[in-house]
Structure 1
Amino acid sequence: MAPGLLDWLLDSDPALRWQVERDLAGVPEGVWRATRARVATEGFGAELLAEQDPDGQWAGGAYFPADFQGDEDGQPWTATTWTLTTLRDWGLDATALAGTAELLAGNSRWEYDDLPYWGGEVDCCINSYTLANGAWLGVDVSVIARWFLDHRLPDGGWNCEWVEGSTRSSFHSTLNVLKGLLYHEAVTGGSDELRAARRSGEEYLLERRLLRSLSTGELVGPWATRFRYPFRWGFSVLNALDYFRAAALHDGVEPDPRLSDAVDVVRAARRPDGSWVQEGRHPGRVWFEVDVPEGDPSRWLTFYGTRVLDWWDRAGGEPSRLGIRGGSSG
């Protein structure tokens, strides 16, 4: 690691610092766990907890704020599902949200067809977040888990536009579903059927090397090689590699060699000082900013990029010779 880079990463909010301590600095478990506990009482995590409504929701809505009229610049990121997902990603202990699951069961309904919150709805990505968040908060979300078995597409992945008749999987939707299935499996143990579904979704992305159209070999789009934090719903090879790292560690397997092209993209984006820069944000209303403006070096992206490359290099992964970087239409 470049001189001073670790100190720079450690000089961060507890939501990031504990992960740097655990995964990059190698500090004793008691140290990083103490930092992780601070997520509930300091910084970003405490700020989000303070915004919770008395009925258990955030911003008065399940996926959209209660006052959302559809005329804003971008998707708002302040409602319940996005806030829960963010807090879970930051490592908040579920005990800090004691009673929230019950409040949401009684008070929160999806904007789609007024469906009950913990039953999920029809969007693959929304259901994936709800599956993971429910497992985190101790809710029985087995109905949602089975939903993914019924809505997997013939090519092995998922697409949120299945309700419009799409029969081809989406990189974005498939990655979000995989992340939800993996988290649910880690908490509950999963099932053979769900593990098979997860592996079919992984194979969908691996066949395309996380980058390319299977039919043309072209890059699927400029978004695949654009790194932005927060990741939100969007696919990037960095977001996907972070998933495959977690899945490989969970499964106790070595990195799949078909990840090498994506690793090459991440490596090429690293600056000489060891950092990665923020390449934009998904537009939309937020409670507060958690990362730097576009063009500035990002601690969050640097953490994810460094962690992915450390995992790959320690496992002896071979670099691609393609040197891919930049956008292309798919």
Structure 2
Amino acid sequence: MDNNPRIHDAMEQSIRHLASASLWEADRAEDSRRKWDGAWWHMAALYEMGEAKRIPASAIAKAAQLLDTQVWQTFVITEHDQPTSDADKRKLDCCHCELAVYYMVLAASGCDVDHERPWIREWLLTHQLPDGGLNCNPDAYTGSRKSSVISTLPPLEAILWHTEREFTEREASFLDEGARYLIEHRLVCAKQDGSVIDPEWLKPCFPRFFEYDILRGMSFLAEWSRRRNQAVPAGVLAEGLERLNGCIDAGGVRIGRQVFDPQGPWGGHVFPLLEAVSGIGDVSPYLTRQLHEVTARMSLQRS
């Protein structure tokens, strides 16, 4: 647990908030995912901090029930995927990255998600595109067939970090193809001309929720290399580290941006824990830990 008193107090406040029964009333299902103060984002912040076990059991049970009863369990690509009954039309729609975040929160909290909700893993594995990634825009599946880096990382992480057994052939292929996608894009670059797709991705972000940054991609590749006993091509992680260097000092990795930036496309209400762990310019112990894992893998790969 972080020793920062402000973070500790804000964490306790989020935990109390999540324990509130009224938070999970049926007519507030949509509120649970509201950016950025909905219940799922409180849970996701705790998960990214490594504190998922502190999420109240009552909140986990209610969140799981919401997924079971109030989410349309199909990604709508064509009209045949759409709900038809009035009851189903009232259900929440999900995208890949959102659903993968929910999966990781529940799995890290001790739920046997694959046994109780096998449809989630199946959803993630089913929607990989030929280039190795995924896309939350349905048009990509009937048109461009091109993936989105943002849509791709959470599903890859869900399978990589929350499979406590040997990977099946299908899962191994899913992860390997996802790694290929990231490698071919050199974490942040367009394949066509090598330009950086979005300069904002060079700024570490915490908590990320579904957002992407270069360290997130590096972290996935390092863990994929370890779990799959595969080498990351020489230069990909080193180049990523070089791009990240401006945000690293002797103290660790400094936060470069906020996913909820009021001036950005995702501005919205926030909560004390989110503000406490996301200060721009602050050294993030959580991002620093990721960086150490990446550099350790780089050292091992060189040896």
Inter-partner Cα distance in structure 2 for 1:80 and 1:135: 16
TM-score, normalised relative to structure 2: 0.73
Superposition pairs of residues 47-196 of structure 1, within 5 angstroms: 47-52=13-18, 53-54=20-21, 57=24, 61-62=28-29, 64-65=31-32, 76-92=35-51, 94=53, 97-107=56-66, 109-110=70-71, 121-136=93-108, 137-139=111-113, 140-163=116-139, 165=142, 167-186=145-164, 190-196=167-173
Q: Give the unaligned 5+ runs of structure 1.
A: 1-8, 16-41, 69-75, 319-330
Kept in 2: contact 1:178–1:198 (CA 8 A): yes
Q: Which stretch of structure 1 is more off in the superposition, 233-242 or 133-142?
A: 133-142
- Change in 2 beyond 3 A, CA 1:141/1:132: farther
Inter-partner Cα distance in structure 2 for 1:103 and 1:305: 31
- Change in 2 beyond 3 A, CA 1:244/1:268: same
Q: Structure 1 residue 122: deviation in Å?
A: 4.0
Number of residues of Structure 1 aligned to a counterpart in Structure 2: 271
Inter-partner Cα distance in structure 1 for 2:198 and 2:302: 25
Q: Structure 1 residue 268: deviation in Å?
A: 4.3
Q: Which has the higher helix share?
A: 2
Kept in 2: contact 1:135–1:184 (CA 8 A): yes
Q: Structure 1 residue 220: deviation in Å?
A: 1.2
Which of 254, 262, 277 in structure 2 is aligned with 1:291? 277
Kept in 1: contact 2:175–2:224 (CA 8 A): no
Inter-partner Cα distance in structure 2 for 1:178 and 1:195: 11
Q: Give the unaligned 5+ runs of structure 2.
A: 74-82, 261-267
- Change in 2 beyond 3 A, CA 1:92/1:291: closer
Inter-partner Cα distance in structure 2 for 1:245 and 1:57: 37
Inter-partner Cα distance in structure 2 for 1:235 and 1:102: 28
Kept in 2: contact 1:120–1:127 (CA 8 A): no
What letter matches 1:125 in structure 2?
Answer: C
**How big is each residue's C-alpha offset from its partner over 1:254-287, in whole Å with a ceiling of 9 and x where there is no partner?**
554232211221234323x444433221223221
**How big is each residue's C-alpha offset from its partner over 1:11-45, in whole Å with a ceiling of 9 and x where there is no partner?**
53698xxxxxxxxxxxxxxxxxxxxxxxxxx5443
Tell me the percent identity.
17
- Change in 2 beyond 3 A, CA 1:248/1:226: same
- Change in 2 beyond 3 A, CA 1:128/1:61: farther
**How big is each residue's C-alpha offset from its partner over 1:43-98, in whole Å with a ceiling of 9 and x where there is no partner?**
443221111131564997556458x6xxxxxxx22223222222222223547532
- Change in 2 beyond 3 A, CA 1:95/1:291: closer
- Change in 2 beyond 3 A, CA 1:254/1:307: same
Inter-partner Cα distance in structure 1 for 2:282 and 2:6: 19
Q: Structure 1 residue 210: deviation in Å?
A: 0.4
Kept in 1: contact 2:101–2:210 (CA 8 A): no
Matching residue of 1:45 = 11
Inter-partner Cα distance in structure 1 for 2:294 and 2:137: 33
Q: Structure 1 residue 309: deviation in Å?
A: 5.4
Which of 204, 218, 229 in structure 2 is aligned with 1:241? 218
- Change in 2 beyond 3 A, CA 1:107/1:147: closer
